[in-house]
Structure formats: structure tokens, C-alpha cells
Amino acid sequence: MRNNRRWFRISLTLLALPLIFALAGANGDGGSKIRWDIQHYPGFVLQPGGEAFADAVDHSRIRFAGSGTFQADGADGNDVTGGGTWETFSVSGALTGSGNYRVVHLVSWHVAPGTLPCPPITDAIAPCADARAGLAVLQIQYSDGSLGKLVVSCHLPVGSPDSVYEGITVSRGFVDYLIAEDPDLTMNGTIFHVVRGDEH
């Protein structure tokens, strides 16, 4: 009788495994496409088309705008879209360069805890429930052919740990703009969304 009970419990566990794995994949968005945006939120309406800044150690700056998509499971790091524009500034604020960039490869993606409070925020990019916090490392190509990295980090207002920052860091050539500027001062920020069905 004891052996029968043991095999019964094992059988139930084996039968439940597919459901457990399916739920884990759904909660982790494992097979989903993720959209990233450098966004802005005038009047607490979240919209694409924002800008983000990062600083080098000498306090020269880079400005980025853009959006794109990638596969959450990272199985094909080349399954990426998107890009945007960039500008660099000297310590005195003089414009030192500008151009376009495109994303060429997903290096890594990690979702983080956090939710978007709707209301008071209205999400005009995608359904509020599909917003995600996280960290994406993207390889990018500048319009002059040089390669660099774009790190997009999103800290959502509810539940994201303080260790997750909001903003971007960027490399261009031999300069690493490794200090993310506080986006709250400009009503700009970053956001990730799970892409469902025919959403873009």
C-alpha cells in the first residue's frame, strides 16, 4: 500500500510538470517578443519618442532616441529591429557629433520585478499590463559603420528594486558613456513591453 501511494504521488507530479513549465514560461515571457522604447510621459501619458542621456567620466554627454524589438528567449540574438538617433556633446555643451544607429544583435535580456501604475499613468504604447522592467544589452551599429553597445534599463514605479536604474548607458568608439542621467528631471525614461499578436 505504501509503495502504491508513492507511485501515485510520482505519477501526479509527472502529469503536472507540463503545466508547471507552461506557467513558468508564460510568467517569464520566455518565447515572446519584447519592445523597448526610450519614452516620454507628458501629463503622465506614456509615449514613444523620448530622449535619454548618459555621461562619460569627463562629463561629456551622449543623447539617444529610439525604439525596437527583440526575442525574449534570446535564442536568435540577431532577431532584432529598431534603432534611432544620437548626438554627442562636449563638457561645455557644444555639439560634437550626430547621426543614426541601428540595433544589430541582442547580447542579453533579463526581466526584473515591477509594474506600471495605470492610473495615474496612461500607457499609449501598449496595454499597461504588458509593461516590463528589465535590462537589455544591445549591440548597435552607427551610421559611420562603427559598433557600440546600448544598455537599456527600466525601473518601474511599483515593485522594482532600487538596484535597477532607469535610463541608458552607451559606448561609441573608445568612449564609454557609463553614467546614466536621471530621466525624472526631463520627464523621459525607458520602458519594455511584451508584444502580443499583431502589435508592433
132 vs 21 pLDDT, higher one: 132
177 near 56, Cβ under 8 Å? yes
Residue 134, classified by CB atoms within 10 Å of its CB into exposed (0-12), middle (13-18) or buried (19+), is buried
Q: Is the pLDDT of residue 185 over 80?
A: no
How would residue 196 be classed by pLDDT, with cut points 50, 70 and 90? Answer: confident
35 near 68, Cβ under 8 Å? yes
The 10 Å Cβ neighbour count of residue 104 is: 14
Q: How do residues 54-81 score in pLDDT, each as one tens digit?
A: 999 999 999 999 999 999 987 788 899 9
Q: How do residues 92-126 score in pLDDT, each as one tens digit?
A: 999 999 999 999 999 999 999 999 999 999 999 99
Q: Is the pLDDT of residue 10 over 70?
A: no
pLDDT confidence of residue 184: 74
CA 129 to chain centre: 15
Q: Which one, of 171, 177, 168, 149, lies nearest residue 91 by Cα?
A: 177
Placement of cell 546600448 in the chain: 150
The span from the CA of 104 to the CA of 176, in Å, is: 19
pLDDT confidence of residue 16: 34
Mean pLDDT of the chain: 85
